[in-house]
Amino acid sequence: MLRLDGIEHKGEVGQFRAHETFFSWSPIDRGEPLTRPAASVMLAEWFEGQFRVLCGTEILAFSGFLPMHFESLWCFFEQQSGVLLKKLQRIEAPPPEADFDTVLEAIWNEIGNDSNSQVAAAVTSKDVGSGAVAPALMAGSIGPGAE
């Protein structure tokens, strides 16, 4: 049996338990416990100490888990529910300069000849950084053959 104290559910702190055929959460104040059969779990996800479980059409959310709890929870749900606990990872967004460089390169490719030099003078770094230029490039309104 797995017992973990200090786990939050809907803003209340309590104890999370996992037993052979069920899992539960009980608030510290001995209020109404939440109990679900392990077999009812359809999906389980973990992200930085937060844990969400889909039971039928109900999503249960818990937080306050420590990194060392992941393996115990993974084993429980894999063995008792046949569900693999999916560990989500944080994905860092690319720096804003990446978009600027890509758009700037596309502009310079489009205005590579002298006939479009007036377009080069009209495009500012503010236009490029805001992405306002990209739709015009894709639509073909700038460059050779544009009207």
Per-residue pLDDT tens for 76-111? 999 999 998 888 887 766 566 666 677 667 767 766
Residue spans of alpha helices (H) in 44-111:
69-81, 96-110
20-55 per-position pLDDT tens digit: 899 999 999 878 899 999 999 999 999 999 999 999
Q: Identify the three-state secondary structure at position 36.
A: strand
**Which residues are CB-neighbours of 129 under 8 A, at least 6 positions away?**
96, 99, 100
- pLDDT tier for residue 142 given thresholds of 50, 70 and 90: very low
Q: How far apart are CA 32 and CA 41, in angstroms?
A: 21
Q: Identify the three-state secondary structure at position 73.
A: helix
- pLDDT tier for residue 16 given thresholds of 50, 70 and 90: very high
Q: How far apart are CA 147 and CA 140, in angstroms?
A: 10
